[in-house]
Amino acid sequence: ETGVTQTPRHLVMGMTNKKSLKCEQHLGHNAMYWYKQSAKKPLELMFVYNFKEQTENNSVPSRFSPECPNSSHLFLHLHTLQPEDSALYLCASSQAGPYEQFFGPGTRLTVL
Amino acid sequence: AQSVAQPEDQVNVAEGNPLTVKCTYSVSGNPYLFWYVQYPNRGLQFLLKYITGDNLVKGSYGFEAEFNKSQTSFHLKKPSALVSDSALYFCAVRDIGQAGTALIFGKGTTLSVSS
């Protein structure tokens, strides 16, 4: 899992806090993704970036704000979250196109 | 619309027996198909993919998958299961005609291998 790293691995936050999740890929890829994985639910795609440009936003609430400053780094800024936002947030990267994605270990988020 | 279905929430197999984890897909064109595995508290790990060519695809850790266009299936198989294969398995699909690069994942199948 050294190809895609995510920090922090665990995060507990209150509903009024602001925090950020960080993802970094060391694979030379040019596409990056955020996914949400909740218990008993399929993996949900949140955002896609190709060559630093956001190409998909899967109807994600505005309390989640992505940022991709370069093709190696991806952030997910969080503010005024709800308890139902508690989940495992996974970052992935790939070459742009129909190639396999490589996943980070995830950030386990708990919203109190 | 693209979709992928994993009809079994859980598959139970005894160690040493063959295993199959089922996946069916629906796309408007030709599919790119993937299998991933997830161990507890870890991210997803890529196992294998089908793009074109031979219908039997070999992947990591002794896993293989068979692409069947007429049945729109891409079942994951292994001739002899190990206890360490116990994990959550995801099938994913991308439509070649899609401009984006995102994959559509199934809901996952938990594989439990008993000793």
Interface residue B42 vs chain A (CB under 8 A)? yes
**Which chain B residue shows the shortest CA-CA distance from A1?**
B43
Question: What is the distance in angstroms between the Cα of A95 and the nearest Cα belonging to chain B?
Answer: 9
Q: How many CB atoms lie within 10 A of CB B53?
A: 8
Cβ contact A48–B107 (<8 Å): no
Q: What is the mean pLDDT of residues A95-100?
A: 81
Cβ contact A42–B102 (<8 Å): no
Cβ contact B102–A45 (<8 Å): yes
Residue B77 has pLDDT above 60, yes or no: yes
Pair of tokens at residue B91: 């099938």
Question: What is the distance in angstroms between the Cα of B115 and the nearest Cα belonging to chain A?
Answer: 26
| CB proximity list for B15: less than 8 A, separation 6 or greater | B81, B82, B83, B113, B114, B115
Cβ contact A43–B90 (<8 Å): yes
Q: What is the 3-state secondary structure (H, E, C) of chain A?
A: CCCEEEECCEEEECCCCEEEEEEEECCCCCEEEEEEECCCCCCEEEEEEECCEEEEECCCCCCEEEEEEECCEEEEEEECCCHHHCEEEEEEEECCCCCCCEECCCEEEEEC
Model confidence band, residue B82 (pLDDT cutoffs 50, 70, 90): very high
pLDDT at B101: 65
The string of pLDDT tens digits covering residues A26-66 is 999 999 999 999 987 888 889 988 887 887 777 899 999 99
Residue A2 has pLDDT above 50, yes or no: yes
Residue B100 has pLDDT above 70, yes or no: no
